[in-house]
Amino acid sequence: MLRFQRRNLVFLECNMNYKYILIHDERNIRTVTLNRIDVHNAFNDEFIDEMIDAFENVSKEDSIQVVKLNANGKSFSAGADLNWMKKMINYSKSDNHKDSLKLSKMFSTMNNIPQLLFGVVHGHAFGGALGMISVCDYVISSHKPLFSFSEVRLGLIPAVISEFVIPKIGYSQAQAYFTSGLRFDAQRAKEIGLIHECVDESQLEARSEKLVESFLKAGKNAQRRSKQFVKEAMENFKDTKLNYTDWCADNISELRVSDEGQEGMNALLEKRSASWVKK
């Protein structure tokens, strides 16, 4: 990994050479850029392998606090690659099962990284691309893109991504858009909870940078614990044997006595920025 400086910022050039994605580190932010421009960043076997590898790697890196996911070209992602789908026509049910598990692993690996995963959507997103959007913790989009769970128009269903999409947008919206395949705009994507903000295309980059700076004001440990807490909370709501109130109290009390929690509370009382906030 090579280190160099520009305008008092430290950049890290990662020695990760992928064919279909680009990796760039700036301070403690890693950017993963989809880069299959010629096919609108569609998935194939090699793309999926690269994404799994990239997100498995970043999940182990303690220095990275925020992972930004974006894309080059006109589209964010068209979902499955047509040539990849042609191969599936001749697959047995067993082969298709293995293939689906591999795709699911990509989404699971992305979903399970401890860092805040920030999605920036600049162009259309169809099919499996909405799975990638759904595993992001915070998503901003320009007003330009159209979105669609387009699988039904191919005689298929969005089964693999459903594990991540349905908790994000809810039963009613999933039923409406999974079964219809209708296209919807960024404003509608925001209304159903698929994305969190939509801005004019000219403002997307500036707003994205501002959001990243805001994300970095959080304590890294607290941010990671908060992400894990939400995932566990969804499961624990269903656990009738668990005293949910006690579980919540245990979690917050542990953080209050931690070094980071103590620093954050003292900073508030002393009317100063916490030690991890960029001066």
Cα separation, 147 vs 84, in Å, equals 21
CA end-to-end distance (rounded Å), the chain: 26
- Which carries the bigger pLDDT value, residue 1 or residue 92? 92
Which residue intervals of the chain are DSSP H helices? Answer: 45-59, 82-89, 93-111, 129-134, 159-169, 171-180, 186-191, 204-215, 220-236, 244-256, 259-269
Cα separation, 38 vs 29, in Å, equals 27
So what's the pLDDT on residue 145?
97
Q: What is the largest CA-CA distance in the chain?
A: 67
Name every residue whose Cβ is closer than 8 Å to that of residue 139 and which is 6 or more positions away in sequence: 118, 119, 120, 121, 133, 194, 195, 196, 197
Q: Which of 46-55, 188-197, 248-257 shows the lowest mean pLDDT across its residues?
A: 248-257
So what's the pLDDT on residue 100?
81
Closest C-alpha to 15, from 69, 48, 57, 44: 57
Asked if the model's pLDDT at residue 85 lies above 80, the reply is no
Please write the tens of the pLDDT for every residue from 130-169.
Answer: 999 999 999 999 999 999 999 888 888 888 899 899 999 9
User: CA dist 178 to 41, 155, 160, Å?
Assistant: 22, 12, 12
Please write the tens of the pLDDT for every residue from 186-223.
Answer: 999 999 999 999 999 999 999 999 999 999 999 999 99
Q: What's the pLDDT band for 239 if we cut at 50, 70, 90? A: low
Three-state SS at 177: helix
Give me the mean pLDDT over the 6-26 stretch.
Answer: 68
So what's the pLDDT on residue 113?
98
Give me the mean pLDDT over the 40-47 stretch.
Answer: 94
Please write the tens of the pLDDT for every residue from 15-24.
Answer: 468 999 999 9
Question: 184 - beta bridge partners?
Answer: 147
Cα separation, 192 vs 58, in Å, equals 29
Instruction: Locate 39 and state its tokens.
Output: 């096919």
Asked if the model's pLDDT at residue 245 lies above 80, the reply is no
Residues of the chain with CATH 3.90.226.10: 2-215
Q: How many Å is the Cα radius of gyration of the chain?
A: 20
Instruction: Locate 75 and state its tokens.
Output: 């589209």
Q: Which fold has domain 2-215?
A: 2-enoyl-CoA Hydratase; Chain A, domain 1 (3.90.226)
Residue 139 identity (one-letter amino acid): V
Burial category of 249 from C-beta neighbours within 10 Å (exposed 0-12, middle 13-18, buried 19 and up): exposed
